[in-house]
Chains A and B, each alone.
Chain A
Amino acid sequence: MAEMMKGNEAIAEAAVRAGARFYAGYPITPSSEIMEYLSWRMNEVGGAFVQAESELAGINMVIGASSCGVRALTASSGPGISLKQEGISTLCDEGLPAVVITQVRYGNGLGTLFTSQCDYNRETRGGGQGDYRCIVLCPSSIQEFVDLMLPAYELAEKYRIVTVMMGEGTLGQMMEPVELPDFVEVKRTPWALNGHYTYKKIGIFERDSMAEAVELRAKYAEIKENEQRWQEESIADADYVFVAYGVPGRATLGAVRELRAAGEKVGLIRPITAWPYPDKAFANINPNVKGIITVEENATGQMIDDAALAIKKTHKDRNIPAYALTYVYNTPPINRIKEDYFKVKSGEIKEVY
């Protein structure tokens, strides 16, 4: 039976049910309710909660708990996630799984509190120092967010990687009907630090960085091959295919259905993994498609690069125009997307690539 819940609270409860037993983080709008909820909830389920002195400390506490084999979580937004980047890079370096939630808000520097998708590049490129990637899941509803919490941990543990749940401010703040999943059995990873030296980590000066890099490259290739997730609709015969994720992905789905009903041959690819990017979905697009159109909540157009590369890979014989509709912040209304679609069709909006 679905129950109306605020996004951040449903997400926090879903994390507990997915086996998370450690949370450390620092308050920031629009993600704070996740830690508020877990500040009392972790105690109830025998987990641990620490209100850290900073985002930096928070992610490093997650490193400590994760190294001991516990499902660990931190959540933040914009500048807070920037502060966590060294720690995320370290998790990847040490092969420690963790889930990092970001409820994205718009802006550079301190930024704003508006819901947005401006941090796409940071999350999908490995935002810290080095040569790594995180798996990035980008749900479009509270229910999908909740349902992805367990896969987020399973993926992180399977590949010894960080999973970033790339939400949006609005996913944390709005209420929707939610059905919560059951509790999983809580277990520690078999390789954890436990004081008994059962996990034979080698010393830092004995590591072979070249061999490790080659292994990582193979691991990322395997993830790209096996873990792409997306939703698609009406792309096999579409003249124009929209590409949009998250809440704008939902708005775009509404626009696609209304445009179809009015006789426009349009379709949608909604990435559920932003990394690995769902390249495979693009192979299902009409070979004679006239263009792809990303819908993004940022000013500069970020996902357009991935979409343009994907269509280049799957439609090698033609140079298919790639357009970006960039709405900066706040979810674009269906009517606005429809209006801008006709501007693309008429040539008023020019392609980016």
Chain B
Amino acid sequence: MANTRERKVPALVDKPMDFCPGCGHGIVSRLIMECLEELEQLDNIIFPIGVGCSSNLGAGLECDRLHCCHGRAGAVATGMKRVNPDTLIVSYQGDGDAYNIGIAETFNAAYRGENITVIVINNTNFGMTGGQMSLTTMEGQKTATSVYGRDCSVTGYPIRFPEMVAREFPNAAYAARGTVTTPANINKLKGYIKNALQAQLNHEGYSVVEVLSPCPINWGLTPVNAMKRIEDELIPYYPIGEFKKREEAK
């Protein structure tokens, strides 16, 4: 029997994006677009987009967006927001872009309390360039530049940025981490993203949502086992939840 159910594509997406099979980016992009639709902000959005797999977002969207220099989306977003205080500015970046090369801009945008939303796709490696070690690579994780497993004694320990924002920056409005492993977690993540966008719309201040996302190709795992790795290995270190809730939600 033919499938008669129409497949609904969010209004802002006009082309397929070239993510690998089993990647989490597609789910997160969709959630962002659904939230924008539900918040009636489809005509009030600019995406400063990072360099890496996140770049693929820009290829598929039909809305205002700018591909930033690697790591600098936090600064570009700042410039956009300061001249457009009522337009939603959502940076979309990976862990390599936001944390490795871009930590100064990511940190300082949060530190100043810029009224922007930062979405970071954390797949514990540099996906686009072939799976090199990043600041979020787990201890012992084998990557293209940690072939015997990450040695944290000389490369540092995996960074937990949303927790740092919640702990250190009093004028940040919202900080959370979600994942895409199960429908329940996807729904929870959607709530986090919506909260982050609402915080910005209400001029409450800086919001960040990190997403634990599978990278089966570079992890050398099947899509199902990649999801399992997130549940078994990543969530115990990178807890899911809201680390800083919005004032009105408390």
Give A contacts to B, CB under 8 Å.
21-22, 24, 48, 50, 52-54, 56-58, 60-68, 70, 72, 86-87, 90, 94, 193-197, 199, 201, 203-206
Contacts and interface: CB of A to CB of B under 8 A. Distances in A.
A60 B83 contact: no
Contact of A52 (B61, B63, B67, B75): B75
Nearest to A21: B83
Contacts of A195: 43-46, 64, 84, 87-88
B61 A203 contact: yes
A206 B64 contact: no
Interface in B67-91: 67-69, 72, 74-84, 87-88
Nearest to B82: A48
20 contacts: A53-B107, A57-B105, A60-B69, A60-B72, A60-B79, A61-B78, A63-B76, A64-B83, A66-B79, A70-B83, A72-B79, A193-B65, A193-B66, A193-B80, A195-B88, A197-B43, A203-B60, A203-B61, A204-B58, A204-B67
Contacts of B112: 50
B127 interface: no
Contacts of B83: 21-22, 48, 64-65, 68, 70
Contacts of B81: 64
A199 B66 CA distance: 11
A351 B19 CA distance: 60
B59 A205 contact: yes
Interface string B125-166: 000000000000000000000000000000000000000000
B46 A60 contact: no
A204 B59 contact: yes
B33 interface: no
Contact of A61 (B59, B61, B76): B76
Contact of B72 (A57, A67, A204): A57
Given A50-B79, A204-B59, 6 more contacts: A61-B82, A64-B48, A64-B75, A64-B80, A195-B43, A199-B64
Contacts of A90: 69
Contact of A63 (B59, B64, B65, B79): B79
B167 interface: no
Given A52-B75, A57-B105, A195-B84, A203 B46 contact: no
